Structure 1
Amino acid sequence: MPRAARALALLGAIALLLALLEAPRMESVAAAARAGGGCTGRIALTFDDGPAAGPTDDLLHILRERRVPATFFMVGQRVAAAPRLARAVERKGFLIANHSYAHVRMTTQTRAQVAETLRATDRALRRVGTHPTRLMRPPYGALDADARAGIRDAGMVPVLWNVDSQDWAGGTSAQIAARILDRLRPGDNIVLQHDGVTRSPISVDAVPAVVRGARRRGYCFTALDESGRPGFPTPRVSVSATDAAEGGRAIATITLSRPPGRTTSVRVRTVSRSARVGSDVVRIARRVRIPAGRLSVRMPIDVRRDGTDEPLEEFAVRISRPRGLTLGHDVAMARIRDRDRAPLIRGSDVTAPEPAADTVVPVTFTLARPSGKEVRIVLRTFAGTADGTDFVVTREAFVLAPGETTAELLVTVRADTVEEPDEAFRVEVVRAANARVGRVGTVTITAPLP
C-alpha cells in the first residue's frame, strides 16, 4: 500500500476511535438534555459550492426524508447553469445563501469587486425565482478588511463555521461523519460540507450517519437565522383577501415576507362587519400551516346567498398567534357583492262603496320580499272609468327602510249622489329605486245598493 494511502487510513482509524471513545460521554449528555426537555446543542448544516446535479438532488432527498433543515451557500455561476435545481432547493423548504459568483478568494479582490460578486449572485438567484437570505459565506472562509467592507456594502452578513467536515480533503463517508460528530459541542454548531465539489457525493452519503448520531446524542437541527447563527429566520406574515359575489368564494392569502426554512403557522378567523359571520359568510377559526418551501397559502372562504337584495357588505379576515413568524398586516377586508334581484312591488285592489261624504281609502303597495336596501317609490293615481270628479288626484313619495315591506297611499274618494254603475281608477308606481314594478293597484267605487 502506498505511504500516502496508509497515512490516510491511519487518520481515519484514529478519528473513528476518538468518536467511539467520545460516544459514552455524549450519550450521558444527551440523556440529561432529554430529561430536561431541551437539546444538547443546536446544529446548522450548511452546504457550499452548489447547486450540482446529482449531489444536490440526493442531498435534498436525504434531508427531506429525515426532516432536517439546512442552508445552501450557492455559487452564482452554478445557479445560472442549474436554475431548476436552485428553485428545487427553496421549494423543498431549505434556505439559500450567497457564496459569490465565481468562487474567487475575496482577499484577492477590491472592496468594490467583493460587493459586485455578491450582488451578481443575488441577482442570479432572484432571476431564477428564488428568495435568497442576506447571508453570505466567503470562498475558502478568507476575509480581510476590504472584503468585510465589500460585504457590508452589499448589505450582507458573513457566516463562517465551527465544525469543518474537511470533506474536500479526503476520507470515506463514515470517516467524514465521524469527523463531524467528534467536533460537535454543546451549544451552537455550524457544520461545513460541500454539495458542489468533486468529493461531494461521498460527503452527501455521510449525512444520514451525522443526523442519526447527532440525534442520538440529543442535538437538534436548525437552519440559520438572520444574523447567521443557528436558528430560523422570523418572517413577517400578512393577510389579504379578495372580494366575492354572494354564493361565491372570497380568497384569503397568507403571505410571508421571506422563506422561514421550516413549516410555520398562524391562526385565521373571519370577523363580522356589515356582513355577519355565520349568516352571510362561513365561520372560520382555525390554525393554518404554511409548509416549508412556500411563501404563501390561499384559503377559500364561502360566501352565502341569502335571497335578499342588499347593499355592498364587508367582513374581515384576521390573523393572530403566529408560530415562527411575526405579525405584519393582520387584518384584511373583503366585500360581498349582492347577486339578488330587487324585489317586486305590487299594488292591492280596493273596493269602496260610493260615499255620501268624502272618504279616505288606503291603497297598499307591498314588496314581494324584504330588501336589505332602502327602497324609494313614488305612487300616483290615474283616471279610469272614474275620473277627477270621483277622487282627488294624489301623488306621494315613500321611503321604505331596509326590512320594511309596505307603503300606503291615502286617496280621497269624493261624495257622489248621482246614480251610476261601478267605476274604477288606478294607482301606479311612477318611479322606483331598488325595487321592480309589478302590478298596479285598483280602486273600484261601487254603486250604492238600491
Structure 2
Amino acid sequence: MVVLASIGACAITINTVDPARAATCTGYVGLTFDDGPQAGSTPALLDALRSNGLRATMFNEGQYAAANPSLVRAQVAAGMWVGNHSYTHPHLTQLSQAQIDSEIGRTQQAVAAAGGGTPRLFRPPYGETNATVAAVAAKYGLTQIIWDVDSQDWNGASADAIVQAASRLTNGQIILMHDWPANTRAAIPRIAQGLAARGLCAGMISPQTGRAVAPA
C-alpha cells in the first residue's frame, strides 16, 4: 500500500501490487468466474479482485457481453482475461453441431465486439462436453477449460466454504467460481491471503496446456 498524500490526520492511500511479489510465487493457480458480465455484480467483483491484487479469467456469456460491452472493457482494464462461456448457457451436449457452432461463434464475436479481444479459452456450460463440442471449440482456436476445484458458490456455498475450497488449490490448478454470488465476493480477501500464505499467485490459464501459469 502506498500513501499518496496526507491531509490532516487522514492519509489518502491506494492499493498497489508489489512488482517484486512475482518473485515470491512458488506456483500459480487459475481463478475463474463464470456467467458475467452483469451490471448487478461485475463491478463489485472487479473491485474486490483488484483491491486484493488478484487477476482472474472471466468466462463470459455472449448474451451478457453483447448487452454490457462497457463491463467487458472494465474486465480487461482491471487486468482480467476474458473467455467464452457460450451465448445462452445451454446444455451443449444436447444440441446439434450447428447449434453448438452458433453458441460458440456468436460469443467469440460478441466478446471481441465489446472490446474483450478474441477469446482463446472456452468453458462449456456445466462442464459438459463431448467430441462434437470439442471439435467446434477447436474450430475457433479455443482450448476447453474445466476445473480442478468446484467452489460450489453456485449451490449456495458460504464464504467460509468458498475460502476452504480455494485452500485446496495446488500449482497449476483451476477453481470454478461465478460472477454473481455475494458470498464469492466476500471470500476474495481471504482467498488472496490464503494463496499468499502458501506462496501461490493468481495466474493466467495457458491456451497450450490448459493449466495456470505465470502471467505473460
Give percent identity, aligned residues only: 37
2:130 aligned residue:
144
Note closer, same or farther for the CA distance 1:121–1:221 as it changes in structure 2 (3 Å cut).
same
Letter in 2 for 1:184: L
Q: How far apart, CA to CA, are the structure 2 residues paired with 1:155 and 1:116?
A: 15
Q: Which runs of 5+ in 2 are unaligned?
A: 1-22
1:251 aligns with none
Alignment CA distance shift 1:90-1:38 (3 Å) = closer
Deviation per residue, 1:119-158 (Å, 9 max, x gap) = 1011111222221331100000001121112212222111
CA distances 1:90-136 after superposition (whole Å, capped 9, x unpaired): 12211100000000111111222222211101111122222133110
Aligned to 2:191: 210
Q: Within 5 A, what are the aligned runs for 1:392-411?
A: none
Structure of higher RCO (CA pairs closer than 8 Å, 6+ residues apart): 2
Secondary structure, aligned partner of 1:48: strand
Could you state the TM-score of these two structures normalised by the residue count of structure 2? 0.83
Aligned position for 1:190? 174
Return the TM-score normalized by structure 1.
Answer: 0.41
Q: Which residue of 1 aligns with 2:157?
A: 171
Q: Cα deviations across residues 331-367 of structure 1 (Å, max 9, x unaligned)?
A: xxxxxxxxxxxxxxxxxxxxxxxxxxxxxxxxxxxxx
Residue aligning to 1:118: 104
User: Which runs of 5 or more structure 1 residues have no equivalent in the other structure?
Assistant: 1-35, 233-261, 263-323, 325-450
Q: 1:64 aligns with which of 35, 50, 63?
A: 50
Q: Deviations over 1:64-103 (max 9, x none)?
A: 1122111100001111221111111012211100000000
Tell me the residue number matched to 2:144. Answer: 158
Distance 1:37 1:204, change over 3 A: closer
Q: Measure, in 1, the Cα distance between the counterparts of 2:35 and 2:92.
A: 15
Q: What is the CA distance between 1:38 and its match in structure 2?
A: 5.2
Query: Quick check: which one's strand share is greater?
Result: 1
Aligned to 2:7: none
Residue 213 of structure 2 corresponds to 231
Deviates more, 1:187-196 or 1:70-79: 187-196
When residues 50 and 216 of structure 1 are mapped into structure 2, their CA distance, relative to the original with a 3 A threshold, is same
Q: Deviations over 1:281-304 (max 9, x none)?
A: xxxxxxxxxxxxxxxxxxxxxxxx
Does structure 2 retain, via aligned residues, the 8 Å contact 1:55–1:204?
Answer: no
1:100 aligns with 2:82: no
Equivalences, count: 193
Q: Which has the larger radius of gyration?
A: 1
* 1:209 to partner: Cα distance: 0.9
**Superposition pairs of residues 31-430 of structure 1, within 5 angstroms:** 39=26, 41-181=27-167, 183-185=168-170, 187-196=171-180, 200-227=181-208, 228-232=210-214, 324=216
